Structure 1
Amino acid sequence: MWIVESPLSYFQKFCINIVKAGRVPRHVAFIMDGNRRYATKSNMRKVEGHVKGFDKLSQTLQWCFELGIQEVTVYAFSIENFKRSKEEVDYLMELAKEKFRKLHDEKNKIMELGVCIRVIGNLDLLPEDTRKLIAEAVIMTKDNNKLFLNIAFAYTSRDELTTAVKNILKGVELGLINPDDINEKLISQCLYTNHSRDPDLLVRTSGEVRFSDFLLWQIWNTNVCFAEVLWPDFCLWHLLASVFQYQRCYADIQKYQPTQKIEQSTKVKKFLQYLDEKRSAQIEMYAKT
């Protein structure tokens, strides 16, 4: 299941409603770290730890839905992960295919919940069959708007920024934009996350205190919570504690929000439309191969 429907106790629902009385982050990002260590701790194969990790994601999406969080971004597979053993990488690709096939089986439920799935990353690095299933899921859910799930797959922030810079340079070479049009707003709009607001809250599990090349541009003013728990052991109370921390820090976060609006020319807007159409055509191509 992509989003489980496990029953919540009255006390859990009560606590969720208490937290919802405060400001709830609209966009939460997760670095789901600790699957392999969980497997070692539980005397499992490493690959079984990744299955437990996906199950935890399904639960966490339900909790986010209950809290009213509108957008979730998860770090599912880094480009750096290709350096792991062939056995583990192959298994992760098979697991991805299995879960995206499952998504098609659960189409009615996904559509009823209004979940829009976006996959951010360098999809050219993925096997063709994996890419095809991902593209089909993206196309199938593109018009949903109740909960946005962004899956960072074959992703690093450095690759994302490099791709954005290349697209901007290409736009200048083609005369679609001028060098003077390049600014922070344009760079943000050329990233894989161009249709998302920056995360309000980033949660990393496993006790590691680093970002691992995840959303480095987008988290410039994001509240960060490092949870001392392996991802498969993450629970509702960890999520509520993270949201509560965000609420306590909200006033400080707001101090650094930009107040000056950057106006963009019609030329820039047409360039951004061109990029969107190019990306959509690429997804359509992946789905047909």
Structure 2
Amino acid sequence: MSWIREGELTIIERFCANIIKAGPMPKHVAFIMDGNRRYAQKCHVERQQGHSQGFDKLAQTLRWCLNLGIREVTVYAFSIENFKRSKEEVDGLMDLARQKFSRLLEERENLKKHGVCIRVLGDLPLLPLDIQELIAQAVMATRNYNKCFLNVCFAYTSRHEISNAVREMAWGVEQGLLEPSDVSESLLDKCLYTSNSPDPDLLIRTSGEVRLSDFLLWQTSHSCLVFQSVLWPEYSFWNLCEAILRFQLNYNALQLFLEEDGREGVRSSPFLSGSAPQDAGSVGAPNPRSSNPAPGAEGTAPLRAAE
């Protein structure tokens, strides 16, 4: 399955999409793609098949987002906590990652056609070296595309991301590159894996779970959170429309919160400022302490991952 499924909306879907787009639209949507294992159990298939179906649904959802004019999507593909699952399941997920990133490199012309920039966010040295290499190639191959952005959170948790940012600032002070007074919320913001992206306007979690599972905790403080009971492989265009409608119903309240909070910088909300992500395709900031980087990613901060 391609990373972006080809195909257009049906007449009814286009009609509904046009109605929805008449209102305020989220520019950045984050997904916790939950329910692959329960879907496999429900359908009496192997867990690996459930995860594979989940990737196919991601490809379809990306197409819907493009049709709706959603410019940036962030997905929780693999949590650091997922390493605690059975060796069989973890190995299966790593094999799936190998297949999909290899496929991405084969279809780079399709990504170029749509202008899709791929970013991978997480602590990549935790991954097998061959996967690190594939990810580095994929990021470099799409780094100059800027029509839309797909952030894949892989080997990621928000607490790990924040603690890494704090270590970066502490190292800067220790090396004399920063004064203690330079340390601020704004600086921490810029040390996060997501520093090149605006905060998500809308976060969607499937499967009926009502928690964030250590995903984008810092970035979603003013996002609209939508929890839907549908299992991820069964997600539909209408589920996405429902989530966007709920965002629109809460838009004025979200706008008020943002104005009161007054957060500024490169990651200010795009539906208020219209700002585009900076340095599209950047794999990270200089980090001389990064260990075991993949070839082609030497001297960069760890790239940036779900359940």
Q: Same fold (TM over 0.5)?
A: yes
Following TM superposition, by how much is the alpha carbon of 1:281 offset from its aligned partner in structure 2, in angstroms? Answer: 11
Contact 1:136 1:287 in 2 (8 A): no
Amino acid in the other structure paired with 1:286? A
State the match for 1:137 in structure 2.
138
Secondary structure at 2:286 match in 1: helix
State the match for 2:97 in structure 1.
96
Specify whether residues 280 and 244 from structure 1 end up closer, same or farther in structure 2 by C-alpha distance, changes over 3 A only: farther
Higher relative contact order (CA 8 A, sep 6+): 2
Q: For the residues of structure 1 that align with 2:291 and 2:109, how far apart are their CA atoms?
A: 22
Deviation digits for residues 3-43 of structure 1, max 9, x if unmatched? Answer: 00133210011111111111110100000000000000001
Following TM superposition, by how much is the alpha carbon of 1:259 offset from its aligned partner in structure 2, in angstroms? Answer: 2.9
What does 1:29-40 align with in structure 2 at a 5 Å threshold? Answer: 29-40=30-41
Contact 1:133 1:287 in 2 (8 A): no
Q: Could you say what the CA RMSD is over the residues aligned between the two structures, in angstroms?
A: 2.0
Deviation digits for residues 72-129 of structure 1, max 9, x if unmatched? Answer: 0000000000011101100100100100000011011111111000000000100000
Secondary structure at 2:294 match in 1: helix
State the match for 1:209 in structure 2.
210
What does 1:169-208 align with in structure 2 at a 5 Å threshold? Answer: 169-208=170-209
TM-score w.r.t. length of structure 2: 0.87
Secondary structure at 1:108 match in 2: helix
Contact 1:135 1:283 in 2 (8 A): no
Specify whether residues 201 and 283 from structure 1 end up closer, same or farther in structure 2 by C-alpha distance, changes over 3 A only: farther
Q: Percent identity?
A: 52
Bigger share in helix: 1
Contact 1:223 1:249 in 2 (8 A): yes
Amino acid in the other structure paired with 1:126? L
State the match for 1:219 in structure 2.
220
Deviation digits for residues 169-205 of structure 1, max 9, x if unmatched? Answer: 0011111111111111111110000001110000000
Q: For the residues of structure 2 that align with 1:254 and 1:163, how far apart are their CA atoms?
A: 30
State the match for 1:266 in structure 2.
none
State the match for 2:271 in structure 1.
none
Amino acid in the other structure paired with 1:185? S
What does 1:1-289 align with in structure 2 at a 5 Å threshold? Answer: 1-257=2-258, 258-259=261-262, 276-278=284-286, 286-288=294-296
The 10-residue stretch of structure 1 (6-15 or 185-194) with the greater mean CA deviation from structure 2: 6-15
TM-score w.r.t. length of structure 1: 0.92
Specify whether residues 260 and 123 from structure 1 end up closer, same or farther in structure 2 by C-alpha distance, changes over 3 A only: closer
Amino acid in the other structure paired with 1:98? Q
Specify whether residues 282 and 162 from structure 1 end up closer, same or farther in structure 2 by C-alpha distance, changes over 3 A only: closer
Secondary structure at 2:118 match in 1: strand
